Chain A
Amino acid sequence: MVREEVEAAVKQIRREGLKAAVLHAFVESAVVFFLALATLRLTGVEAEILGYSVVYPAASAAAVTFFFADSYLVYRRRTLEYFEEINPGVREKLRTARDAAREGESSAAAEALYREVLEDLQETSSQGFVHGRRLTVSLALVLGVGAVLMAGGTGVPGPVDLGERTLWGEPVDDDFGLAEDAEDRYTGPESGDHLLGEGGEMTEGEDELLLDLRGGGAPAPGDGGGSAGEYYDASFEDFEVDAVAAVDIYKEDAAALSPEDRRVVKEYFHSVREGG
């Protein structure tokens, strides 16, 4: 019974070794992916298959290959012997118990050893399987290379000069989209200022319009000329044909009126007529 427990403990230690190997390989394959990507861009590899760039697939393939190779190699090193090295207190007895359990030894001494090893294993750790310094360096590389790639991707000047293309294979946009042809290339939202132009002080607006309404040749009311009825009749009939002429305003001012202003004037006259 105790022998089976020792065998299980040994298997558990091996599993811990595998976990550590996968962890190392995962982080390091991320480094390989980024480095491969950067290398392919730096060397200007532009190969395409069926119109698609092979840069990403190539970098991914390199990373995946490295992942499996590194997992295998690290797992080979993270053996029970390695566990014994990092836990020297149990080194010899664990090795002996492993061999004895495999050979099915069940002497009193072997049974005592199994129990002793199981107790000792509760006080040992497999943390040493994870190589802290190596993992830290790998993570730093991932972050560093990742930062460089991000800088390359946005065109921000960085330590890597990629020429006219970003690491993502796109043209470098050095003027942040403000070049002359940027409008043609860019289809997304634009800034309000760009659309409205330069701002300036605005005067208070008013909807009152002062018009001098007089009939053709007829005196205005109060001028001592013709009657008011004559005045209005004569002017309103002709207004719709040529409002400017009808109201007798200065020609240059009438010509300056926009169609909208004309519509306002026309509505005003209608309201006056109906109200009058």
Chain B
Amino acid sequence: MGSEELPELQERVKRVEDEVGKKIVGQRGTLRQLLVCLLCDGNALLEGNPGLAKTMMVRTVADVTDMSFSRIQSTPDLMPSDVTGTEVIREHEDGKEFVFEPGPVFANVMLADEINRATPKTQAAYLEAMEERQVTAGGETHMLPEPFFLLATQNPIDQEGTYPLPEAQSDRFMMKITFDYPSFEEEDLIVDRYTSEKERDIELDTVLSAEELQEIQEYVRGIPVADDVRAEAIRLVERTREAEDLEFGASPRASLSLVLAAKALSFMRGNNYVSESAVEKMAVPVMRHRVIVDFQAEREGVTADDAIRDLI
């Protein structure tokens, strides 16, 4: 990809935002974080109260980027094979044979709704697919399509009967994106829009192909980072390990994700370099699920976001 195409590709990403905006009212910051994740070829944990359009946003992004989409509602009785697929017996003229039937994980964008309701065994199946980009069934390895994104939602309330993701597994999500309640004006618009027409009636244009997205991902990885900016990102992650309010700090994987996310945000800003502000902007979504707030601080109302912001 020549650099002459850069403005055009940046414009396409901008158009993705605009197209998604046709369905999703507000939540621009959240959407941008989600796109950052896609540009980094990363996976995201989406957290928000019910009814905040988490699923709709993911599905809409998949629609406008011309990627296949699948969704699984996680439940305690969900089995790993329900996610990855399984071997089934098929009858042919020559007889019967085992044939691998791909599960919903074989899509470009997979939404695992309420992942914390699945058992740890099933969660591990998700995470293996997310990490390895392949699944093994019946002794055979099957590659997942490229690009592949696993977007999992969590419900911060109603935790009874859930299986919270272990730290080691949540660390594999590049970002944790939180959804806030819309403002009054935004909610008014939502009510007006969806009481006068149905969601499926809103037509969306496909503005970015999966191939183009992969080209952009390659471009984003090539964005240079100044030594001191990279050093500052690493120092920021290091500080979480020594922070008074944090019992458990972020891993080196957080440093990788932070720099990469800053690159993607810089691309979306139209820059071919990573600014300090981009690193700072990405610090909270990249690290909030990788740290554990100290009990004392938590009792005083300090959240992971607060503790990280204090370190910036």
Chain A residues with a Cβ under 8 A of chain B: 92-93, 95-100, 105, 107-113, 115-116
Contacts and interface: CB of A to CB of B under 8 A. Distances in A.
A105 B224 contact: yes
B6 A96 contact: no
A115 B272 CA distance: 11
Contact of B273 (A97, A111, A115): A97
Contacts of B225: 96, 99
Contacts of A98: 226
Contacts of A96: 224-226, 229, 273-274
A107 B222 CA distance: 5
A110 B221 CA distance: 10
A93 B227 contact: no
B157 to A, nearest CB: 41
Interface string B185-228: 00000000000000000000000000000000001111111111
B222 A108 contact: yes
A105 B225 CA distance: 10
A100 B224 contact: yes
A111 B221 CA distance: 13
B36 to A, nearest CB: 16
Contacts of A116: 272
Nearest to A81: B228
Contact of A109 (B219, B226, B227): B219
B3 A115 contact: yes
B224 A107 contact: yes
A93 B269 CA distance: 13
Interface SS, A side? helix
A227 B6 CA distance: 142
A93 B3 contact: no
A95 B3 contact: no
Contacts of B221: 107
A112 B220 CA distance: 12
B1 A113 contact: no
Contacts of B2: 108
10 contacts: A92-B275, A96-B229, A97-B224, A108-B3, A109-B6, A109-B272, A110-B223, A110-B224, A112-B3, A112-B272
Interface in B250-273: 267, 271-273
A96 B273 CA distance: 6
B230 to A, nearest CB: 9
B12 to A, nearest CB: 16
A99 B227 contact: yes
Contacts of B3: 108-109, 111-112, 115
What are the 9 A-B residue pairs with the smallest beta carbon separation, nearest first? A107-B222, A112-B3, A100-B224, A96-B273, A113-B272, A96-B226, A109-B223, A109-B222, A95-B226
Contacts of B224: 96-97, 99-100, 105, 107, 109-110, 113
Interface in B104-134: none
Contacts of B222: 105, 107-110
A92 B278 CA distance: 12
User: Which among B3, B228, B275, B276 has the greatest number of chain A C-beta atoms within 10 A?
Assistant: B3
